[in-house]
Structure 1
Amino acid sequence: MYQQINLYQPVFRHEKKVFSALTLLQLLGITVLVLVGIYAGLRWQLTQVEHNLAALQTQHVRLNQQIDALEQARAGSELEVLDERIAQLEQRRGLLDQVLEELDSFQAPERRFSALLTGLARVQTTGLWLTRIELLADGGATLEGQAWDAQRVPAYLEQLGASDRLGELGLNQVRIDNGPEAGGVRFSLSNRHADSARLSRRADRREPAS
């Protein structure tokens, strides 16, 4: 006496989970909204800085004109009041020079961030989306995301390298892990040596497979 069991019944089969079209559209939509929001915020800050910079430059030109006019007036008169006025204006001009230098140093990274975010928004790879973007003023950058499979990550990295602006990031630290969904992966692209050292320490702690 024996009993036959049909192993092809659905209860004995492991069904592979796949991403639905609606889920992918939602993830892509969220990614685009995040990028647009960050870009809009940086663009607004950049506009304010440019406005303040233009106003200070105009004020700087007027101060120079006043100093020149007072120096010409002093040529025909050695009044102590004129000397004090010139000294005050020169001191104020020095302060404005410092402010302009600080604004210039702040404006450069803002423009860089804006250009990088615009470039990232234009690079699209089917089945891959970003979940975290980190751009630092010192040039450090980290991109984290998810993909249908690991093969899509090198393709995405190649697209980034083809862009003049994004290629300058030098994302040479790559990490790919299994994702929460069956068949999916998580990835991290970075140019920070600290991330590389942390990954190396993790690898050292892993025991060799027997």
Structure 2
Amino acid sequence: MSQQINLFNPIFLKQKKIFTALPMAEALGVIIAGALLLDWYAGHTVAQLEQEAAAGKVLLAEREQRLVKANVQFAPRAASATLQAELDAAELELKSLHNVESVLQGGALGNTAGYAEYFRAFSRQNVSGLWLTGVTISGAGNDIGLQGRAMQATMIPNYVARLTGERVMHGKTFASLDIARPDAALALAEAAAAASAPAVPAAPSAAPYVEFSLQSTMQEAAK
């Protein structure tokens, strides 16, 4: 009977040395170099940030100085009593003008267009053989009086009808109409006085024209 004896022991094998002195020195050098580079980069970055912060402080100080100067230059001024009084007076005058405009537009004063349109109407309704010797317009045109002469009395009603057809005469009627024939002697005396010549005696007779007088009034709303 035989028996095998194993005399191999792993501890007797040659061990491979991984971390020797040289590789460890190189690794340590790399670590130190990296640490130095990182420290330099951090210092450089911090320096840049400090410069930017300093520049920001300078800019902020300049802006604060400008703000102080602006506040001093454009400081709120006290209200001027004179300017306020003038402003109040102007506002009061403007309000008064608005009130006057409202009254004028409302027609409370009657006709505010003047009397020119009345005389245009009289000139448009010119009738041959009839002429006016006097015109009276009272107030705002509420009352109108006409005095004139006509060669024939029958011409007067036609003239009145045409005159009341004018736009400016709407709402008015002639309430009274007086027609008379003056003496011929009076008519001749007036003609002579107008020609700066002595009056020519004439026998009393009727004048060749008649005189008339018209007076208008405002029509009532009910009518």
More relative contact order, 1 or 2 (CA 8 Å, 6+ apart):
1
Query: Which of the pair is proportionally richer in helix?
Result: 1
TM-score of the aligned structures, taking structure 1 as reference length:
0.46
TM-score of the aligned structures, taking structure 2 as reference length:
0.43
